Amino acid sequence: MAAAAVDSAMEVVPALAEEAAPETAGLCCLVSLPGEVLEYILCSGSLTAADIGRVSSTCRRLRELCQSSGKVWKEQFRVRWPSLMKHYSPTDYVNWLEEYKVRQKAGLEARKIVASFSKRFFSEHVPCNGFSDIENLEGPEIFFEDELVCILNMEGRKALTWKYYAKKILYYLRQQKILNNLKAFLQQPDDYESYLEGAVYIDQYCNPLSDISLKDIQAQIDSIVELVCKTLRGINSRHPSLAFKAGESSMIMELELQSQVLDAINSVLYDQLKFKGNRMDYYNALNLYMHQVLIRRTGIPISMSLLYLTIARQLGVPLEPVNFPSHFLLRWCQGAEGATLDIFDYIYIDAFGKGKQLTVKECEYLIGQHVTAALYGVVNVKKVLQRMVGNLLSLGKREGIDQSYQLLRDSLDLYLAMYPDQVQLLLLQARLYFHLGIWPEKVLDILQHIQTLDPGQHGAVGYLVQHTLEHIERKKEEVGVEVKLRSDEKHRDVCYSIGLIMKHKRYGYNCVIYGWDPTCMMGHEWIRNMNVHSLPHGHHQPFYNVLVEDGSCRYAAQENLEYNVEPQEISHPDVGRYFSEFTGTHYIPNAELEIRYPEDLEFVYETVQNIYSAKKENAE
């Protein structure tokens, strides 16, 4: 009946609006409808916030129906920003109209700041203090983050520059929040053994743009625990672990009952769900991120051990982590409670090797060397996280293609959050920033800290201080923007323009041009190392700055480039720094790049017309 009344009302309202001569007659008919019908109409999704504002000003009844804490404004908020609803509890009192206003204002402020970044930071990496504007904004941080996510989700081929800087800002804000949470987590007492929580912080910090939460990861593990319980029920229907409630931390003391749990874990984890150690792609950072371990069902010894450990403890088996060299393990006590134990009173579990149970001798055989008894000891959460971050640090040092060294930067941040006075890592961080040409002021701060910690590093510190100060002085001496006109006589040999999709004749890679020089502007050493003199035109020809599809930036000679007859988007992280849109045949430069190459866009249009339109006509 209620549904019928609503449907009837939805049909009647337009008719009333047409038939009633005076507007007041239509309004009177409208407000005479039952409250739930009016509410349904106002929440139907066809009215904007402005419409609701006008409706609520017509009469007392509609104003009461559109009260700020009511369903109508809640629906307006939900439709506009659905991802924010998870932050509100159904039992909380919320002034939805006020929330709407605050979120709207936060969005406008966020967009204003994003729009300013290209002009402010086009010629340099965003400095450490470059994010201060958005950090100092008033209002809930989740509102600013939500607006940045909205920008990132805009139509794929447009607003590339906005997306580029929105991503940088969101990356920074989330990492700062996660790092603060991690530091607070590390202040917990040594007996606080939430290994999974610490691992999730590492995962979140290295993947700040992904939607990763401890709650979601724990829910996935809980679903695995349910499967283990189902298998365990088949082994022993009266097993005490089956009576455990979610969140309980009871431990089972009988070894036989513990063994049954471990058998059930092995059956579910490795036989049913097909989890396995990633031997084929061992040196992949994804193996260390817990959300990826659960998605891909593979990992390395430490991540597989943390998953195994979490499941076992939820079911009452008190396994412990062992920081074994080269191969992280778990240990399972076989001795009597309260007795003096040594390393031979434990069985060691290899979660990477399908839960295989090992003796001390088999552990040494596993890594091919004898180790001292101390290396079989249990380690706390901080040591486990140190091992995980150390693995990421090693992988970051191996990076080749990623010229931003993001993994190395992230892992250094994490390691120094745990151990802020590690001189060698501080020195590595300073060298890395210096190499990348970013944050010179921060480099000086790091070097000063190193000098305080270890005066013996004076030589390395002094060298970096000198060259960093020179870099800062050079930046101060830079004057204006260099404008390159194609009509200039000295640029007559330049054949290609910014925004064109090219192909390298020799190496076959696809790329987009974001800059050019009339001749090679690199130093003699680079020219010699790259064997430029062997080219027919040598270094006396135009050279082009290009963004390559593999994520690298290169400097290519004109004679080595040709038009790509099948242009495609270039998936390079810096595309948005230079271009605002991809049209399907070429990129359109953003305002800052166009200032530097004001005549290139017209040439691009001519080229596209000649190359791609002719190709289309021939195909037809």
**Alpha carbon distance 74, 42 (integer Å):** 11
Evaluated on CA atoms 302, 307, 310, 311, the torsion sign reads negative
The CA distance from 413 to 410, in Å, is 5
Residue 451 pLDDT > 90: yes
- How far, in Å, CA of 73 to CA of 29, rounded? 23
Averaged pLDDT for residues 93-100: 93
Range with the poorest average pLDDT among 20-34, 210-224, 319-333, 555-569: 20-34
What is the pLDDT at residue 4?
46
In sequence order, the β-bridge partners of residue 276 are: 298
Per the model's pLDDT, the better-predicted residue between 136 and 323 turns out to be 323
SS (H, E, C) 430-479: HHHHHHHCCCHHHHHHHHHHHHHHCHHHHHHHHHHHHHHHHHHHHHHHCC
What is the overall mean pLDDT for the chain? 89
Rounded-to-integer distance, Cα 493 and Cα 519, Å: 9
Q: What is the pLDDT of residue 18?
A: 44
pLDDT tier for residue 527 given thresholds of 50, 70 and 90: very high
- pLDDT at 398 exceeding the cut of 50: yes
Q: What gap in Å lies between CA 580 and CA 382, rounded to an integer?
A: 44
Name the band, by pLDDT with cuts 50, 70 and 90, for residue 133. confident
Per-residue pLDDT averaged across 552-575, rounded? 94
Q: How far apart are CA 218 and CA 221, in angstroms?
A: 5
Which of 2-6, 106-110, 139-143 has the least mean pLDDT?
A: 2-6
- If one counts every other C-beta atom within 10 angstroms of the C-beta of residue 348, the result is 21
CB 226 within 8 A of CB 245: no
Q: What is the pLDDT of residue 155?
A: 83
Which residues have CB under 8 Å from 372's CB, separation 6+?
Answer: none
Report the distance separating Cα 89 and Cα 67, nearest Å.
19
Q: Helix (H, G, I), strand (E, B), or coil: what is residue 298?
A: strand
More confident residue, 44 or 455: 455
Of the listed ranges 55-59, 230-234, 394-398, the one predicted with least confidence: 55-59
**What whole-number distance in Å separates Cα of residue 547 and Cα of residue 532?**
20
DSSP 335: S
- In which element (H, E) is residue 306 found? helix 301-314
Residues 6+ apart with CB under 8 A from 229: 241, 242, 264, 315
Instruction: Give the separation between CA 111 and CA 94, rounded to whole angstroms.
Output: 26
pLDDT tens digits for range 307-365: 999 999 999 999 999 999 999 999 999 987 777 889 999 999 999 999 999 999 999 99
Q: Which SS3 state, helix, strand or coil, does residue 296 take? A: helix
Least confident residue range of 214-223, 369-378, 508-517: 369-378
pLDDT at 401 over 60: no
SS3 content of the chain, % helix, strand, coil (to 5): 60, 10, 30
DSSP assigned state of 285? G
State the average pLDDT over residues 287-310: 97
pLDDT digits (tens, 9 = 90+) for 374-383: 999 999 999 9
237 C-beta neighbours (distance < 10 Å), count: 8
DSSP calls for 340-388: ---GGGEEEEEGGGTTEEE-HHHHHHHHTS---GGGGSB--HHHHHHHH
The pLDDT assigned to 473 comes to: 86
Predicted TM-score of the model (pTM): 0.86
Helix (H, G, I), strand (E, B) or coil at 502: strand
| 33 secondary structure, DSSP code | S
Label residue 372 left, alpha or beta by phi (over 0 means left) and psi (-120 to 50 means alpha): beta
Per-position b or e across 364-375, b if 16+ CB within 10 A of its CB: eebeeeeeeeee
The tens digit of pLDDT for each residue in 138-158 reads: 788 999 999 999 999 998 789
**pLDDT value at position 70?**
86
- Residue 505 above 80 pLDDT? yes
Beta strands in 230-333 (DSSP E): 276-277, 298-299, 320-322, 329-333
Which of helix, strand or coil describes residue 581? strand
Q: What is the pLDDT of residue 49?
A: 87
C-alpha distances out from residue 307 to 255, 274, 280, 311, 321, Å = 21, 14, 20, 6, 11
Token code pair at residue 100? 């709407």
Mean pLDDT of 468-487: 85
CB neighbourhood size of 545 (10 A): 18
CB under 8 Å to 581, separation ≥6 — which residues? 157, 158, 159, 160, 587, 588
Q: What is the pLDDT of residue 123?
A: 79
